[in-house]
Structure 1
Amino acid sequence: MPKTSSEAAAMGRHSTLHGPTMGTRWSATVDTDSRLDLAALRVDLAAAVAQVDEQMSPWKPDSDLMRLNRAPVGTWVDLPAETLEVLDSALDVQGLSAGAFDPCVGDLVDAWGFGAVRDAPDAAAIRAARQPRPPTGQGGLELERSAGRARKRAPLQLDLCGIAKGYAVDRMVAVLQRHGVRHALAALDGELRAVGRQASGAPWAVALERPEAGLRAVHGVIELDDLAVATSGDYRRFLRVGDARLAHTMDPRRRAPVNNAVASVTVLARTCMHADAWATALLVAGPDEGLAMAQGMGLDALFLLRRAEGLVELGLGRLGESAEPANG
């Protein structure tokens, strides 16, 4: 229900807090009253995203994720509860997506020059990464969340880039709620989550980017009310091999970068972690399998497909009528 004019006036400040993290920036747009300590809120938001980065970054050699990657097969590694939560969710989406989402693609990411090891593809590393490997998922990684530990059952290299940013947004929302904020929009790169509506009663309007390399243009607008949204696409980081555009996202089934007709996938969910992971899974799955997967899971998803006639939209659930076109 929209706020009355007096309520909206009492919560009329519109403040944006932001800072650097994970090679990009986080931000929180807050509608609140003058009693909120914005300086303290900013400190706590920055600490929340920094903790996720310190625990799950494949770029930080001393992160908890990299400790697990370096550990010998069969050795238990003590991990924070947050890292175990994300690993557990990643394995869950891996199973539900028939392997389209896979946290065990760190070797592929590095071999193709998208990780911390090298900045260009390496033919020998690619050949090694494409060799048959033992099954992953629960068979390759064992979690004991009650004991706060995990161990690899196979020589895996984990990468949580397809889910950790969404989780960081969820941690930001938890901070906002602890501070008593009821109207806010938290964002980190292409992942966003709304806390309620704006104080005026209007939903939060979020721009859906047009999936064209080198062009920052709005394709449409999505309205959020206590929902999260995440987009995965092939247009920000990619390689060109001949006429093919190879996205930085890896297809674990083909053991190669994504190369299909999907320009981007946008997913709505209650948590940003799940929106993030499913957007990645559907991008990897492609236009046919991905659409069937989204329908089977009852997901709210919007596919933008590259066709000879241009971009084609396919939407499901609350995105079934696609994003509202941007003016102009």
Structure 2
Amino acid sequence: MPKTSFEPVPACKRTTLHGPTMGTRWSATVDADASVNLAALRQELAAAVEQVDAQMSPWKPDSDLMRLNRAPVDTWVDLPAEILEVLACALAIQRLSAGAFDPGVGALVDAWGFGAMRDAPDGAAIHSVRQAAPRTTHECLALDLPAGRARKRAPLQLDLCAIAKGYAVDRMAAVLQQHGVAHALAALDGELRAVGRQASGVPWAVALERPEAEHRAVHGVIDLQDLAVATSGDYRRYLQVGDARLSHNMDARRAAPVNNTVASVTVLARTCMHADAWATALLVAGPGEGLAMAQRMGLEALFLLRRPKGLVDMGLGRFGSAAVVPEAIR
């Protein structure tokens, strides 16, 4: 992809800020001038990420998400604006993806041993979830955004793990911009968002991970500028049952873990929240339905498919051109 020349910003100094959160780490690579208070910036970045975790974690009994999960049916629950924004986005993407993305998979996640309740599948719990009345999450959850509240219309256990990390990266990007930072790369696990370009004038180079469980390797590199990227895959947390690899990602339509030939899906979007959720939706949908869905929604996505002779790329938008450059030839 051709690059345009820009005047570098010599007064900027590169700094990496980071810290622990959500069982992993957040980081921000910042090209900032002397006017930026880096200590205050780091503190506010950490606070933004921790606020998302405190509101949306299924692992913290006192989180706002868990308050809503515990609330009786038909009872309004007051919630912060941030989690309501994420819930509204999650329900919208559930509708658009025909249920491939579903924030109501909390009971499935726990039953299959990927949640806070248990660390191995429980046959009785799986059977119980599958016997539940088949109602969609957007039918079971009412949001009253002006009043700042939500209400379950039927028993429902929400899980926002497939969207909350992306939202946390968006909050980090907002903090960076509020501090006057024009050149930064915010990251949390496999979710990243670029604020502008690097101070040198070139886009941020982001490595796309090869979907291998045994070790970390780079599959390729993509350039980011004022754009977010997120990847969902089956290779970090999964169950191996015979020859089948059962992902920690749940397919609510089948009431079971994802089991298809998609090793990972990477999505580009203006916000990391949308990239995160759509990457999960396309992974769950699988290669055929997922590709059609991505085309219908105008998404820029890269599918890595497992085939007998190795991985096969299937890309749309910039991923269908020379946007992804193999690490070996950069």
Deviation at 1:10, TM superposition (A): 1.4
The corresponding residue for 1:157 is: 157
Identical-pair percentage: 77
Deviation at 1:257, TM superposition (A): 0.2
The corresponding residue for 1:241 is: 241
The corresponding residue for 1:216 is: 216
Deviation at 1:318, TM superposition (A): 1.3
Kept in 1, the 8 Å contact 2:137–2:156? The answer is no
1:312-327 matches, within 5 Å, as 312-321=312-321, 323-327=324-328
Deviation at 1:133, TM superposition (A): 2.1
Kept in 1, the 8 Å contact 2:52–2:164? The answer is yes
Give the 3-state SS of the residue equivalent to 1:10 in structure 2.
Answer: coil
The corresponding residue for 2:143 is: 143
Kept in 2, the 8 Å contact 1:3–1:199? The answer is no
Kept in 2, the 8 Å contact 1:134–1:154? The answer is no
Distance in 1 (alpha carbons) for counterparts of 2:186 and 2:214: 25
User: Which of the numbers 4, 7, 24 marks the counterpart of 1:4?
Assistant: 7
Kept in 1, the 8 Å contact 2:220–2:327? The answer is yes
- State the TM-score, normalized to the length of structure 2: 0.97
Kept in 1, the 8 Å contact 2:206–2:221? The answer is yes
Deviation at 1:134, TM superposition (A): 4.0
Kept in 1, the 8 Å contact 2:48–2:171? The answer is yes
Distance in 2 (alpha carbons) for counterparts of 1:253 and 1:134: 9
Deviation at 1:136, TM superposition (A): 2.1
Deviation at 1:132, TM superposition (A): 3.8
Q: Which moved more, 1:220-229 or 1:129-138?
A: 129-138
Give the counterpart letter for 2:141 in structure 1.
Answer: L
Deviation at 1:273, TM superposition (A): 0.0
Distance in 1 (alpha carbons) for counterparts of 2:85 and 2:14: 33
Give the 3-state SS of the residue equivalent to 1:162 in structure 2.
Answer: helix
The corresponding residue for 1:80 is: 80
Distance in 2 (alpha carbons) for counterparts of 1:241 and 1:138: 32
Kept in 1, the 8 Å contact 2:100–2:251? The answer is yes
1:100-111 matches, within 5 Å, as 100-111=100-111
Give the counterpart letter for 1:159 in structure 2.
Answer: D
- State the TM-score, normalized to the length of structure 1: 0.97
Distance in 2 (alpha carbons) for counterparts of 1:215 and 1:144: 45
Deviation string for 1:177-223 (max 9, x for gaps)? Answer: 00000000000000000000001111000000000112100000011
The corresponding residue for 2:277 is: 277
In the alignment of these two chains, the number of paired residues is: 325
Deviation string for 1:263-301 (max 9, x for gaps)? Answer: 000000000000000000000000000000000000000
Kept in 2, the 8 Å contact 1:210–1:216? The answer is yes
1:169-184 matches, within 5 Å, as 169-184=169-184
Judging changes above 3 Å, is the alpha-carbon distance between structure 1 residues 159 and 212 closer, same or farther for their aligned structure 2 residues?
same
Give the counterpart letter for 1:252 in structure 2.
Answer: A
Give the 3-state SS of the residue equivalent to 2:10 in structure 1.
Answer: helix
The corresponding residue for 2:92 is: 92
Distance in 1 (alpha carbons) for counterparts of 2:293 and 2:179: 38
Distance in 1 (alpha carbons) for counterparts of 2:11 and 2:132: 62
Kept in 1, the 8 Å contact 2:88–2:143? The answer is yes
| CA RMSD, Structure 1 to Structure 2 (Å) | 1.0
Distance in 1 (alpha carbons) for counterparts of 2:313 and 2:303: 6
Deviation at 1:327, TM superposition (A): 1.3
The corresponding residue for 1:205 is: 205
Distance in 2 (alpha carbons) for counterparts of 1:182 and 1:133: 50
Distance in 2 (alpha carbons) for counterparts of 1:9 and 1:323: 29
Deviation at 1:309, TM superposition (A): 1.5
The corresponding residue for 1:264 is: 264
Distance in 1 (alpha carbons) for counterparts of 2:221 and 2:281: 23
Distance in 2 (alpha carbons) for counterparts of 1:34 and 1:18: 19
Give the 3-state SS of the residue equivalent to 1:26 in structure 2.
Answer: strand
Give the counterpart letter for 2:98 in structure 1.
Answer: A
The corresponding residue for 2:187 is: 187
Distance in 1 (alpha carbons) for counterparts of 2:111 and 2:119: 9
Give the counterpart letter for 2:261 in structure 1.
Answer: A
Distance in 2 (alpha carbons) for counterparts of 1:43 and 1:32: 16
Deviation at 1:156, TM superposition (A): 0.4
Deviation at 1:235, TM superposition (A): 0.2
